[in-house]
Amino acid sequence: MTGREAGSAGVSRRSVLATAAAAVGAVSGCAKRTRNVMARDPASQVSLRILTVPVDANPYPARIAQALAANLRACGVDAGVEPTGPEALYRRVLLDHDFDLYVGQFPRTDWRDPDHLYALAHSVYAGEPGWQNPFGYTNLQLDDALETQRTTSGAERKTAVAAVQERLAESQPFTTLAVPDALSAVRTDRFGNWRGSPMDPLTLLGLSPTGEATTLRLGTTDGRITGNRNPITAEFRTRGTFVDLLYDSLGRRVDGVLRPWLAADWRISERDGQLQALLSLREDLTWHDGEPLTADDVAFTYEFLADTSLGAAESPIPASRYRGRTSLVADVSVVDETTVRVAFADSSPVVAERAFTVPLLPEHVWAEQTETARVAGVETNRTMTEALAWNNPQPVGSGPLQFERAVPSESLRLSRFDDHFLRDDPEDLPERLTGAPAYEELRLSAVGSDDAAVELVAAGDADATVAPVGAAVVPRIGRESALDLVSRPSRAFYHLGFNTRTAPLSNTRFRRIVARLFARSRIVESVFDGYAQPAETPLVGTGWEVPERTLDDVGPGDTFVGEGGELDTEAARAAFVEAGYRYDDGDLLSE
């Protein structure tokens, strides 16, 4: 606030001076000098908006953003926090790239392999919508390291992954803050066997009723699935729990290991220097609408995700999700009704297998959505297809649960898909999943906040919360004897994202100073109440992380400008000056 006031005062003084100078110049005839002064645009104060979701959606990011904004203001930046609904926020950050900074979470992903950083940070995705380099960051060295880790293995890959982390730490296209614990309130009187986080679709599938319960009831603060069930649009999905129950993939990670799911098995081999897989589907697979699921659908899915216009548009229009994984596939050819041959792009077998975790889409449904998007019959956006605009109200997947009905912003109802292969008791999957799910129906209620979600479970109207709740409701969960707190480390790391497309955030030095305006450990302690681990690299805790001192050597690291959580304003301003920035009347000036 003070920054803004000082800013407007500064501007008005400058304009008064300029007017006075013009008058003097005109009178004395020094027109040339006047022009020298007037022709230069006066530098204006740096103004930054930090986007976050509102507290109702997630209690953490707004507090982190407020702490940062206060420190930025102390440095003479006109900074403010703009709470924005999840859908609108993702639209601005991921699709329109219309933002300065945001504090958010990386979506749940196939995180066990560091290759998920490929799509997040590679330069070729800088112009693409989705969770593909939303920072618009380009760095050839980083690209190089990202490509190397894709194609190598063993120690060589380890070195490349370390290089990726060092380049990220050095250049800070985003600043990693913390990896949180995903917290849920769960009641165990109706369903048991809560092995993992309730946000994990396989946890939900493996639940066993303790009595006669036939309906699993869940509560969420993220109601987007009640209005939009499109699996390929980034702005509507975060964890994708329900999309993953509706849509199956060829493989799934079961207990940490990627295993054939819709596929009966696959064999990866190298032929003529190219990696490829021969993959056969399980027998008698069908879609929820009764149509057979065949090798054609598999080939269609990979072609369609890479270009939702199927070649009709001048340049491909890819889905805004799964880009990293679909980029691993060069070609899919149909061998027979249940067999496909997958030719991979340049990659190692471990990385290539990640491609099998994307959801399969039925050709007979999605092939009709390849036209460019129209509003009221008028073509409005030639770089967007109907597939990306579609709310997919009646999703047809092949997952263990099928869609029944939904009331937007209120509820969603799914029922068991009895033609699913799990119902035939497959022998190659763990016992808890054979015949799963052990309930007939799943009901999801959308509520307004963490408190309301926990209240739902406490009142016996839900069995679990399926969007992470904040640490503030933990005491409440502890007080209610019927409720259990389930806490699982999440890989959905919190970070500060920069839009590096425009000044001053395009300047690496500027971003590195901003990264030092966080008292990272302190923020994690106070905001997350200990339910998170401070992190300087997104790979912390995966076994791939490089030691923090290495990151501290190359980047700003965890070196807060100040002590005990208090910003050292003098030192922070000095850092900006040292990086080539100037001050006027206490305002930090843009270049």
Partner 1 sequence: MTLLPVLSKVVAVDLVVVTVSALVLVGPERLRETAAELPDRLRDVAVPLVVLAVVLLVNSLIREPVTEVAWLVGVNVTPIIYGIEGDFVAWFQSLGTPAVTTLFSYAYVYGYVYVLVFPLVAYAALEDSRALRELTVAYSVNYALGLVCYVLVVAYGPRNLLGETVESLLYTQHPEFQFLTSRVNSNTNVFPSLHTSLSATVIGVAYDTRETYPWWLAVATVVGLSIIGATMYLGIHWATDVVAGLVLAAIAVTIGRRYANRQ
Choices 204-212, 275-283, 449-457, 484-492 (CB under 8 A): range interacting with partner 1: 449-457
**Cβ-defined contacts of 544-553 (< 8 Å, 24+):** 544/114, 544/158, 544/161, 545/165, 546/162, 546/165, 546/166, 550/162, 550/166, 551/165, 551/166, 551/169
C-alpha 338/C-alpha 342 separation (Å) is 13
- Compute the least distance from the CB of residue 452 to partner 1, in Å: 4
DSSP symbol at 215: E
Output the six-digit token pair for 418.
Answer: 């009895």
Q: How far is the CB of 216 from partner 1 (least distance, A)?
A: 15
235 or 307, CB closer to partner 1?
235
Stretch binding partner 1 (CB under 8 A), from 74-82, 95-103, 173-181, 326-334:
74-82
CB of 88 to partner 1, least distance (A): 4
User: How far is it, in rounded angstroms, from Cα 591 to Cα 503?
Assistant: 8
Supply the DSSP string of 369-418, one letter for each residue. G-SEEEETTEEEEEEEEHHHH---SS----SSEEEEEEETTTEEEEEE-T
Q: Compare residues 456 and 492 and give the one whose CB is closer to partner 1.
A: 456
Beta-bridge partner residues of 249: 359
d(CA 537, CA 544): 10
- Our CB check for partner 1 shows the closer of 79 and 319 to be 79
Interaction of residue 232 with partner 1, rule CB under 8 A: no
Of 461, 563, 566, 570, the one binding partner 1 (CB under 8 A) is 461
Of 9 and 335, CB closest to partner 1 = 9
d(CA 518, CA 531): 18
User: Is 81 one of the binding residues for partner 1 (CB under 8 A)?
Assistant: yes
Residue 482 lies near partner 1 (rule: CB under 8 A) = no
- Taking CB under 8 A as the binding criterion, the range among 80-88, 247-255, 343-351, 496-504 that sits at the site for partner 1 is 80-88
Beta carbon nearer to partner 1, 87 or 585: 87
40 vs 19: CA distance, rounded Å:
14
229 binds partner 1 (CB under 8 A): no
The C-alpha atoms of residue 32 and residue 18 are separated, in whole angstroms, by 14
Structure tokens at 101: 């900074």
Q: How far is the CB of 177 from partner 1 (least distance, A)?
A: 16
Per CB under 8 A, 11 contacts partner 1: no
- From the list 8-16, 75-83, 102-110, 303-311, the region that binds partner 1 by CB under 8 A is 75-83
For partner 1, the closer of residues 87 and 548 by Cβ is 87
| Count of other CB atoms within 10 angstroms of residue 426 | 15
Q: How far is the CB of 489 from partner 1 (least distance, A)?
A: 23
Nearest to 443 by CA among 418, 416, 417: 416
Nearer of residues 3 and 318 to partner 1, judged by Cβ:
3
Quick one: 64 or 281, whose CB is closer to partner 1? Answer: 64
Interface segment toward partner 1; rule CB under 8 A; list 342-350, 391-399, 448-456, 581-589: 448-456
Residue 54 engages partner 1 in binding (rule: CB under 8 A): yes
Give the sign of the dihedral formed by CA 342, CA 344, CA 349, CA 355. Answer: negative
**Is 85 near partner 1 (CB under 8 A)?**
yes
State which of residues 24, 31, 38, 88 lies at the interface with partner 1 (CB under 8 A): 88
> In angstroms, what is the minimal distance from the CB of 444 to partner 1?
13
Which residue, 101 or 360, is less far from partner 1 as judged by CB?
101
Question: What backbone torsions phi and psi does residue 219 show, to the nearest 5 degrees?
Answer: -125, 145
Nearest CA-CA partner of 532 in 484, 489, 486: 489
**Helices of type H across 520-590:** 520-527, 548-554, 569-578
Choose between 18 and 55: whose C-beta lies nearer to partner 1.
55
Question: For partner 1, how many residues bind (rule: CB under 8 A)?
Answer: 35
- Looking at the chain, how many residues does it have? 591
Give 23 or 88: the residue with its C-beta nearer to partner 1. 88
Rg (CA), the chain: 26
List 128, 455, 463, 587, residue binding partner 1 (CB under 8 A): 455
For partner 1, which residue of 268, 330, 389, 452 counts as binding (CB under 8 A)? 452
3-class state of residue 323 by DSSP: helix
467 binds partner 1 (CB under 8 A): no
Compute the distance between CA of residue 276 and CA of residue 273 in angstroms, rounded to an integer: 10
Shortest Cβ distance from residue 378 to partner 1 (Å)?
Answer: 16
Positions in the binding site for partner 1 (CB under 8 A): 1, 4, 49, 54-56, 59-60, 62-63, 66-67, 80-85, 87-88, 408-409, 445, 447-449, 451-452, 454-456, 459, 461, 472, 527
